[in-house]
Amino acid sequence: MKKCRELVLRSLSEREKSFWELIDENEYDIKTVIATINELLGKEIEFNEKEKKFRIKEPLNYTYINLRCKHCNGRGYSKDYFEDVLNKFVEITKERPLPIADYDQGFIIPTDLALKASFMYQRGDIVNKEILVLGDDDLYSIFLGLTKLPKRVVVLDIDERIIDFVNKVAENENLRIEAIKQDLSKGLPEGIGKFDAFVSEPPESFLGFKIFLDRGIKSLKGIGSSGYFGLTRLESSWAKWRWIEKFIIDNDFAITDIIRDFSIYPERENKWEDFYNHYKMMKKIKVNVGLPDIDWYKSALIRIEKVERIKEDWSDLYMDEETLATPKPFEGG
């Protein structure tokens, strides 16, 4: 793909970079980036086997500069309001269950949980709200519970280790959290009620995503209820994004927010080293790129809200029932 090729070369115009830096800085999915790197190898780029770095053979006529905000890294929210909660969360979860490959697990850094809570708070989706967490390897339910702001938090997860850990913390800290073991492919458990918001980091296969989002959508109370979920560009192409967006819209939801690279999955804390032996991408790249030297796996945070279908008014170029801040033409011109 021409655009992906341009972005790989643009990244390398700055300096030599690892494979993990290249996919982090690109705009396309892993499959496309690997195919592009394989095509460029030996032609426009070279690979240093010892350093595990790629370099450009001929310099471009410009140098790439990263223009994202250095303070918030493009996310636009502060963790300050939840600083005390964050510190307690880190202490409480030191003995947390580690990810296992059986359930496609991996958790985001605790700081990003504070930023997610800030975002949800700003949107009015935490205080006195009933919140459903679909899959909780992040232990976000515990963070929400520690804020003392939600009315109720319910967790559904297939991993009994997570269920036991969340319920134990909830009992010890007197938190309004209930964790229930549930295979979401079999639907929602009976008797859990309805919720103001759901939160999930769903699998990114078509089937996995549809199952998790369908359960979240069916759990909500109605108009004005919201959903929060993560989605990467690494394992979801823009074509898959389009399919996901259509699925959301067809279920009468508006996509109110998309914040790029909001959630970071830390390599060291997740202890994923052994997982890389089983990742298909490691077999598709032509060279031995080694283990990651940065936290490269990131996901966007997306918010959706249940809406009523609108009555379309095509009678006027400028005015309809909602254009209340548009000046109506004065009589006489």
Tell whether 38 and 90 lie within a shared domain: no
Beta-carbon-side half-sphere exposure of residue 274 (alpha carbons within 13 Å): 5
Q: Which one-letter amino acid corresponds to residue 255?
A: I
- Name the band, by pLDDT with cuts 50, 70 and 90, for residue 72: confident
Tell whether 106 and 146 lie within a shared domain: yes
Asked if the structure places residue 327 within a domain, the reply is: no
Tell whether 116 and 218 lie within a shared domain: yes
First to last CA, the chain: 52
pLDDT at 59 (0 to 100)? 86
Q: How many domains does the chain have?
A: 2
Tell whether 100 and 215 lie within a shared domain: yes
Where is pLDDT greater, at 74 or 264?
A: 264
Cβ atoms of 147 and 110 within 8 Å: the answer is no
Q: Give the integer Cα–Cα distance in Å for 53 and 259.
A: 29
The share of the chain scoring above pLDDT 90, in percent, equals: 80
Residue 332 pLDDT > 60: no
| Locus of tokens 């949107």 | 123
Asked if the structure places residue 271 within a domain, the reply is: no
Residue 142 pLDDT > 60: yes
pLDDT at 148 (0 to 100)? 97
Q: Which one-letter amino acid corresponds to residue 124?
A: G
Least confident of 137-141, 234-238, 242-246, 276-280: 276-280
Sign, CA torsion 183/184/187/188:
positive
pLDDT at 234 (0 to 100)? 96
Tell whether 148 and 214 lie within a shared domain: yes
pLDDT tens readout for residues 83-126 = 999 999 999 999 998 877 766 778 889 999 999 999 999 999 99
Tell whether 8 and 120 lie within a shared domain: no
